[in-house]
Chains A and B, each alone.
Chain A
């Protein structure tokens, strides 16, 4: 990855973060914390990794993305809008009555959304079904799914991981946003997860653990994942919840709370400053 490409991705990620703030501020609700920790991977997926076409969102050979941690829809929507699937100007209608931007992803109303999700633990199973279905039909398309670390407490996640390894779904890439926090507090206080990479490895996946805010690291991991044959891959992203907005970083309280007018203005000012710096450099 060239430095200019990296900077371009960083700038896009900044715009995605602004979209997260704008959407949750407009909704007066929603989940900014986990949307921001995953903003970089949303950006990497939609601007570098996925074979998708905003002008033909349902094209048959597209790569699929399933947001298993569906509550971070603001992050997904912000990435989709910036990629051109729908107008960025629609983001503030998030969660409004009659808006197509439902509180959790709806595959039948939001262009670019491949699976309706929101109930934790289910998206990864759906992604397994998609990966199997595509393989079965001879497609070379790949399936990516993003889970929260707290979501790993759902038993169904482990059913799905067994399924993925058993059927050798090497077209499936399981991504974990490991920001360490969930609604009630740190993962380890709510329900200890132990070593997520060790567990994934024990379930038969090829595991990569990387800095989830570093595009060069992502490029390396996703590249190897794409070339891995015979088993599914998992990429554990070490991230900071609320990343990019100073007062939200590492704060569990920002899991599911919208910024008020003042907080919104401050957050946007910070992100605008980051963007100006990236574009100047």
Chain B
């Protein structure tokens, strides 16, 4: 397979904000002293009078965003996932979620691939935290193309949205000319009949590679990009459970509370006999190291996904 172009989705976030800002005067961007890491500095350069630095005060930033939204503006509040979803959880819950205000949270540096900063900054709990807030849309794109489309869809959506982007380069797997994005809809990237690989974020490209590995061994894997974790595309999950009857979920998140558990809940609720193996961070903290090596060490790569798929037996 040819080497694919890699772009970190935080870069896509910054560029998409700039495109959105040119189209809509009501878009404002908030940051907390991280503009050149979250890439909101791209927007800031183009629209300096619509970018507000809140200083190192993430809790305040989330509530300021709520207030801005209450006056009709569409704020994109930006920070590392750890502090957006973690530190400011209760502000997001009470001042954005409870009043259902039209705030978009752009969380960069999600997952273990943050790398060298280590466990304090490697947020593997954000899907779990944000999913638990009523009315919150939770999404994580696979690549640059999907990330940009997602930012625009978030703007069009009326209500709070949490988007998680990565620091580490993501292989560009979508064609920008033909790609369309809809909140709450999974996308079948590759058809297959033996097992479903349901992934999001950086692990979508790994799942595609895993499907190649499985094909070499005579196993036909369907690959689904489940960029929206909430609301989950239940119809597609059920289709997967009924047709292949074996699912591997793949996410750069704790196996507790993320995509994997969301998929399991749908299958259990419908009484389907479909074993699910969850690829994710296994209830442990990360540590410092190069992103690629960490993904390998924590079992989040194509080989791990393929191995898990092989071991799954249809009931």
Contact = CB atoms under 8 A, between A and B. Distances in A.
Main SS at interface, chain B = helix
Contact of B55 (A66, A125, A163): A163
B173 interface: no
Interface stretch (A22-30, A84-92, A129-137, A258-266): A129-137
Interface string A127-163: 1111111101101000000000000000110011011
Interface stretch (B69-77, B227-235, B238-246): B69-77
A59 interface: no
Given A116-B95, A137-B72, A131 B57 contact: no
A107 to B, nearest CB: 5
Nearest to A143: B67
Contacts of A155: 59
A108 B99 CA distance: 7
Contact of A129 (B50, B59, B66): B66
Contact of B99 (A116, A121, A129, A162): A116
Interface centre among B54, B75, B90, B100 (most CB of A within 10 A): B54
Given A108-B100, A162-B57, A130 B72 contact: no
A257 B88 CA distance: 31
Contacts of B57: 156, 159, 162-163
Contacts of B54: 159, 163
B34 interface: no
B59 A132 contact: no
Contacts, number: 109
Interface residues of A, number: 34
B94 A119 contact: yes
B91 interface: yes
A118 interface: yes
Interface string B69-103: 11111010000000000000011001100111000
A124 to B, nearest CB: 8
A163 B60 contact: yes
Nearest to B66: A126
A125 B67 contact: yes
B52 interface: yes
B172 interface: no
Contacts of B90: 119
B94 A132 contact: no
A63 interface: no
Contacts of A201: none
A13 interface: no
Contacts of A156: 57, 59-60, 63, 91
A118 B94 contact: yes
Nearest to A66: B67
A156 B56 CA distance: 11
B55 A129 contact: no
A145 B50 CA distance: 24
Given A115-B99, A163-B60, A127 B67 contact: yes
Interface of B: 28, 50, 52, 54-55, 57, 59-60, 62-73, 75, 90-91, 94-95, 98-100
28 contacts: A66-B67, A106-B98, A107-B70, A107-B99, A108-B100, A116-B98, A122-B63, A122-B91, A125-B59, A125-B64, A126-B67, A128-B60, A129-B63, A129-B66, A129-B67, A129-B68, A129-B71, A133-B70, A133-B71, A134-B71, A136-B50, A136-B73, A156-B57, A156-B59, A159-B54, A159-B59, A160-B63, A163-B55
Closest 5 CB pairs of A and B: A129-B67, A133-B71, A125-B63, A159-B60, A129-B64
Interface of A: 64, 66, 106-108, 114-116, 118-119, 121-123, 125-134, 136-137, 139, 155-156, 159-160, 162-163, 166-167
